């Protein structure tokens, strides 16, 4: 079983859209996948639920062992894709983790899935917290979406330095540009300098598009909603890169 996290220090950068589209593409590739919506806002759950609210369960019941992780999973959202939906109690995930004496609670929680699941995708809440550290420890790769602006790059460098200082797995990080608008000079400049700006960037770049915005209205991933769109093609490239790294 492989684990991939999508994380950003700030919201509104296409993190959840990326997690959902990659999860669907893995499913389409017959890879048994679980998408865990760790963000209490529940955007990933919304994107995959046909625009209707999906209700999760209290995180305390999972952390204290009252319920196994299988009881939290909604199976077969698509043929090879399961969803662990968000719940408002996820806001207190960090507090619960502070009281957990296990060295890596997430690893312990996910372990029972290893027999039936090939890929776990974690859609993480924005910001830096104890949960972020556990995610970094358990993930094989961490994809960090960035809008091509200097402010986003500054956030990236701060996050990278934090990961380096705490020895959380710098080589796992995979920054990639999202919401790319080629009409903007700065976007064009920064996207042409990925090899200079980053150590291990993804070659995939996700363009700004109304098709991505429509995902929320339709409750569908791009490969279903608008498979011929440029963002859909970019996500296919991202999945191809990811698959090669995870199972090479």
CATH of residue 119: 3.40.50.300
| Parent domain of 133 | 2-246
Predicted pLDDT at 101:
60
In total, how many domains does the chain have? 1
| 123-148 pLDDT tens trace | 999 988 888 998 999 999 999 999 99
Predicted pLDDT at 128:
85
81 - beta bridge partners?
Answer: 33, 78
| 16-74 pLDDT tens trace | 999 999 999 999 999 999 999 998 888 898 888 764 556 677 777 787 778 888 888 98
| 177-206 pLDDT tens trace | 999 999 999 999 999 999 999 999 999 999
The average confidence (pLDDT) of the chain is 90
200 - beta bridge partners?
Answer: none
């Amino acid at each position: 079983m492989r684990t991939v996290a999508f994380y950003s220090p700030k919201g509104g950068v296409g993190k959840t859209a990326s997690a959902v589209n990659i999860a669907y593409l893995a499913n389409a590739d017959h890879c048994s996948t679980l998408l865990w919506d760790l963000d209490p806002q529940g955007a990933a759950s919304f994107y995959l639920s046909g625009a209707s609210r999906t209700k999760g369960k209290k995180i305390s019941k999972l952390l204290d062992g009252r319920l196994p992780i299988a009881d939290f999973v909604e199976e077969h959202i698509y043929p090879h894709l399961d969803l662990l939906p968000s719940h408002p109690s996820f806001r207190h995930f960090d507090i619960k983790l502070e009281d957990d004496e296990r060295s890596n609670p997430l690893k312990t929680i996910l372990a029972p899935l290893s027999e039936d699941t090939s890929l776990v995708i974690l859609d993480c809440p924005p910001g830096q917290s104890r949960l972020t550290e556990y995610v970094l420890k358990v993930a094989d790769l961490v994809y960090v979406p960035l809008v091509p602006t200097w402010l986003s790059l500054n956030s990236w460098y701060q996050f990278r330095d934090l990961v380096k200082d705490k020895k959380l797995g710098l080589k796992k990080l995979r920054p990639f540009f999202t919401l790319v608008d080629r009409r903007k000079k700065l976007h064009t400049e920064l996207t042409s300098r990925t090899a200079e700006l980053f150590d291990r960037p993804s070659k995939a770049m996700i363009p700004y598009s109304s098709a991505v915005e429509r995902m929320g209205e339709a409750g569908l991933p791009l490969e279903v909603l608008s498979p011929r769109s440029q963002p859909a093609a970019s996500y296919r490239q991202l999945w191809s890169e990811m698959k090669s790294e995870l199972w090479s």
